[in-house]
Amino acid sequence: MDQRKPPATEEGWYALHDCRSIDWDAWREAPQRVRDRALSEGIGFLDAYEAVEDAEEGQTAVYTVMGHKADIMILHLRPTMGDLDAAERHFEQTEFAAFTEQEFSYVSVTEASGYTEKSREYFEGEVDDDSGLAQYIQARLHPDVPDEEFVCFYPMSKRRQPDQNWYDTSFEERAAHIKRHGDIGRTYGGDVNQMIAGSIGFDDWEWGITLWSDDMRHIKELLTEMRFDPSTSQFAEFGPFYVGRRFDPSELPAVLAGQRVPTDDESVPETPADVAEHEHAPADAGASHGHADEQTASDAQAGAHAGGDTDSHGGTHPGSAGEGDHPHSEESSEEADSGSSGSSGGRPDVSADFEEIDDAAQRLGRLGLHEGDAYDAGDYALVFHSSADAEDIVDDVSDLESNFDHYDRHVQTAVRADSGQTYVVSIWTAKDAAETAAGFLKDIDGVDEQLGGSLGEGAESEETEDGSNAQTAESSQSIRETLESAGVYAGQPHGEDVYALVVYSEADAATLDEEAADLRSAFDRYDTHVQTTVYGDTDGDLSAVASLWDTEDAAQTASDYLTDLPGVVGRHGEGDGFGTMGMFYTVKPEYHEDFVEKFDTVGGLLEEMDGHRETSLLFNHDDENDMFIASQWDSQEDAMAFFRSDDFSETVDWGRDVLADRPRHVFLA
């Protein structure tokens, strides 16, 4: 038998259809703050990828999926398979991914092939690059994801049975099938858009078909009619079908809440990034945290949703040009509409493409960043040199820092200048997180030297008499682990799973609460706000406002408002010493007096400890059983000496019976 020649093909963007189910039991059981953080990271990921901040070009869209097969589908189109690989693994690093399970995925590449005379002219180079046909085929290879409400994805193959083998038919017979099939597809122009991607050697089927429409009945009618065409009835085999509806990343909270999406404008849940819109200070080249204006989820979608800044909707009607051995193909005329690629950005190269160094701590020291103030022992630093002026790149670095702040392992990212040279410094708690960040930082203007190294050894554990590991604690991470070993939840390294700000005031608690009420109402509009509470002591000598937020940037923004409250005398982190350690306890009403007496006893012990400055017990102005202990120390190690003590362990055991909820320990400096 003669060897049959396959049609010429050209490939474009690589595609990943990532279908995930939600672990609804785990989601319902998770604390609200954990769910809020998961939503924040999920929105941040989807926003960044829909805006194509990770690659030079491409598209991303997210859909609900109806039925039992999955709950959401993320569609990525990117120039390289490495981009898809990074996108899939980047999602797994988000807190939201922990509540999902990948039920189905499909890898393919957009494809054009030559079955008709016109397409053969294109592949043989007889068509000018600026011709309508050439531009149209390029638009098929680099499509814009349309903004139609519904999506339908399914994989398919051509049948290879002894008496029905597509690949044993002649070129002419296959071309005739494709032309007739395309004639059907063209009748649905304007009602159904499509994307055809080849997957031979990529996945279990030979093609992946993605259809979009504002009315699923159009897709049903199209596929029904095509079922009766011989190219389908004789030669087509189909995989599972996934049907869903597109939603904006900002509507992820509504999706998880079971609300209808798209939501009305008035009911769209505000994203955690929205709080950053309120009077951020300009980014400072010498600051460890920039506060440049951030995009909201809706702003990030402007120009990116459904195809970037182009007007085309990419996949035109089924039966158009250059689409390979699949059921929906035929050539278009040379007047076919052209398309363009999406927006640009930096591709995350998660490989360690920087030079490993041993003197990272010394280099940071020359830039004014020192252990204990700017980072903890065991963190990992990137030090990238840029030939650009510091003031020219500070905004871009600040924008990256705002994105990095979605991740708990990020410590800080900033621009530093030394002896007329410009450096970008990014500090993380783990090397693998820094490696991912390097892929973004290397695209900063003028970066020509890329270095990275560990910032000393992290805290080592030591065996206690009962065999448990107690941390020697040079960092807030070790504090958290020590508390957990004692059965006290202390959350993330920055302090539980929230960022906290405490402002002290000379005003009495009642007056302060009246002034803080309006602020609290305003803060409650934002998903990142956990709580803002006024506390006072029994003598009326000390009042405090404790404000808890899911992101550090949001807490910093809130501080600008809280410091305008009457009688403010200070906030955490000011002056020397360790600052404030905030301990929140909710006590069962019947044990209120017992808890106060216990505090007096423990307070007496604290006064005798080295490094202790002051510890005060304050009560919620609205609920006396909600208490806040503000403790001042000379250093973290001094504070840890108490947490490692037998007295603290006994207090923890005693508290199990008297507390109405688990305690929260938030480290504020």
Q: Are strands 447-454 and 355-356 parallel, antiparallel or unpaired?
A: parallel
User: Beta partners for 532?
Assistant: 547
367 CB neighbour count, 10 Å cutoff: 19
Radius of gyration of the chain (CA): 30
Which two tokens mark 567?
Answer: 């009688």
Question: What DSSP letter does each residue of 283-347 carry, written as one string?
Answer: P-TT-SS-------HHHHHTTTTTTTT-S--SS-SSSBSS--SSTTB-PPPTTPPP---------
Quick one: how far is CA 50 from the chain centroid?
A: 11
CA distance 36 to 520: 18
Name the catalytic one among 115, 154, 375, 585.
154
Residue with token string 């030669």? 235
Cα dihedral: 508, 514, 517, 519 (round 10): -70
Give the residues across from 212 on adjacent strands: 151, 193
Nearest to 195 by CA among 154, 167, 223: 154
**Among candidate residues 372, 651, 631, 643, the one with its CA nearest the CA of residue 481:** 643
The first and second tokens of residue 517, run together, are: 């009420």
Q: φ, ψ for residue 593 (rounded to 5)?
A: -65, -40
Burial class (CB in 10 A: 0-12, 13-18, 19+), 440: buried
Is 19:91 a contact under the CB 8 Å cutoff?
no
Annotated active-site residue 49? The verdict is: no
* All residues at 6 or more sequence positions from 241 whose CB lies less than 8 Å from its CB, including other chains: 152, 153, 154
Q: Residue 582: beta bridge partners? A: 630, 666
- The number of helices, as runs of H, and strands, as runs of E, in the chain is 19, 26
Query: Residue 511 corresponds to which amino acid?
Result: T
Q: What is the rounded distance in angstroms from the CA atom of residue 94 to the CA atom of residue 333?
A: 45
Residue 617: strand, helix, or coil: strand
CB atoms within 10 A of CB 463: 9
Q: What is the largest CA-CA distance in the chain?
A: 100
Per DSSP, the three-state class of 485 is: helix
303: tokens are 């120009």
Parallel, antiparallel or unpaired: strands 543-549 and 469-471? unpaired
Environment class of 56 (CB within 10 Å of its CB; exposed 0-12, middle 13-18, buried 19+): middle
**CB–CB of 581/526 below 8 Å?**
no
What's the rounded Cα separation, in Å, for the pair 415 and 417?
7
Cis peptide before 262 (omega within 30 of 0): yes
Of the candidates 424, 404, 408, 426, the residue with the CA atom closest to the CA atom of residue 416: 424
- DSSP output for 134-187: HHHHHHHHSPPPP--SEEEEEEEEE-EETTEEGGGS-HHHHHHHHHHHHHHHHT
- The answer to whether the beta carbons of residues 181 and 232 sit under 8 Å apart is yes
Residues acting as catalytic residues: 154
